[in-house]
Amino acid sequence: MADQELEHLPGKTTLAPEVLLTIATKSALSTAGVSHLAAVPGGFNRLFRRGNHDGVQCAIEDGIVYLDLYLVLNKDINVREVSRAVQQQVARAISEITGMEVGHVNIHIEDIDYKADE
């Protein structure tokens, strides 16, 4: 098929919420200074018994993605710098992979991981 014909094919693409959760999770965990995600009591994932994305809450309103990430950070890091890096990395990944606009990425620091010393 010619490129012009491909542009006019009928159909739509839908995105499961788990896709956004996976992108946010992987992006946050790949940021230097992030140890792991913290559990979110009573969150979306608990309601639907999804354990892979416990530290991420996601809402979509009018096509805009709003995220809350609950993180445990490594010791001896700058909390502000790591938080901003996570916000930027997650927002960029969501935008680039899905083409959706990101309204906000709120970061909640739940703890610092000192277990490596024990």
Helical spans, DSSP H, in 1-118: 3-7, 17-29, 44-47, 79-98
As given in the structure block, the two tokens for residue 60 are 């979509």
CA trace torsion 27, 33, 39, 43 (10° rounding): -50
d(CA 65, CA 45) in angstroms, rounded, equals 16
Q: Are 82 and 56 in contact (CB under 8 A)?
A: no
In a domain? residue 104: yes
In a domain? residue 9: no
Give yes or no for residue 4 having a pLDDT over 80.
Answer: no
Q: What is the pLDDT of residue 46?
A: 47
In a domain? residue 103: yes
| Residue-wise pLDDT tens digits, 63-111 | 999 999 999 999 999 999 999 999 999 999 999 999 999 999 999 999 9
Q: Count of domains in the chain?
A: 1
Which residue has better confidence, 118 or 24?
24
pTM of the shown model: 0.80
What CATH code is carried by the domain that includes residue 62? 3.30.70.1350
